Copies of this chain bind each other. A is one copy, B any other.
Amino acid sequence: MNSPDLSQNGHASVDSAAPATTDKTPRTSRGRKTLRAILDAAVEEFGARGYHEAAISRIAQRAGVAIGSFYTYFDSKEAIFRALVADMSAQVRDTVGPVILAAPDRLSGERAGIAAFIGFVRENKALYRIIDESAFVAEDAYRKHYLDIAQGYAASLTEAHGRGEISDADMEVRAWAIMGMNVFLGLRFGVWDESQTPDAVAAVAADLISDGLRPR
């Protein structure tokens, strides 16, 4: 495959002993700048037109470089798309995760997390679309994204249960249920329509997660 190492701040890049024959990671600051430009252009292009309508030539144009330069940094259209998916998958986790953890208890963390997610989506509509489309372009990356999140989510739910904060049940199913909620609310109230505040939506959703529909 061979893509430049995009890992910013920390996230170990798991290059399992790559023979480094054709490492596409830039070595000079000029290269890094070009890569950055291509990446940003790609987010715009993929976000605006979707994977298949997006054209490498247009990405290059947006980035202000020649087509050939694109291939200096990425092996293919799919390669850069995958890089973007992985990059933004990490961004979502790094944005929402800490917010949930910072809360005093699980239930209030849930609420803060949803609000943070909707806010993130509003600021990153293109990236949101990219992850969704990866289901059809790079299914394994898509699965990994949600499987990873769900796993972490289920684990923290189990912990919360250990502390007596939430009731008992299959935490994996719950994790997927709550993830689905978040994603759809993000689409509806983050991407499609911003007339409601993230907090208002999060309040309703968190209340549903905490107490359900049943009348008191």
Chain A residues in contact with chain B, CB under 8 A?
50-52, 106-107, 110, 132-133, 135-136, 143, 146, 150, 157, 164-167, 169-170, 173-174, 176-185, 188-189, 192, 196, 200-201, 204-205, 207-216
Contacts and interface: CB of A to CB of B under 8 A. Distances in A.
Number of copies: 2
Of A135, A183, A210, most buried by chain B (CB within 10 Å of CB) is A135
B167 A215 contact: yes
Interface secondary structure of A, over-half rule: helix
Contacts of A107: 213-214
A211 B208 contact: no
Contacts of A165: 215
Contacts of A106: 213
Contacts of A132: 135-136
6 contacts: A51-B136, A132-B135, A133-B136, A180-B180, A180-B185, A210-B212
Contact of A173 (B110, B176, B178, B205): B205
Contact of A192 (B110, B143, B164, B181): B143
Given A166-B214, A167-B213, A169-B208, 18 more contacts: A52-B52, A107-B214, A133-B136, A143-B192, A150-B188, A165-B215, A167-B215, A169-B204, A170-B200, A173-B204, A177-B181, A177-B184, A180-B180, A180-B185, A183-B184, A208-B209, A208-B212, A209-B212
Nearest to A106: B213
A210 B169 CA distance: 13
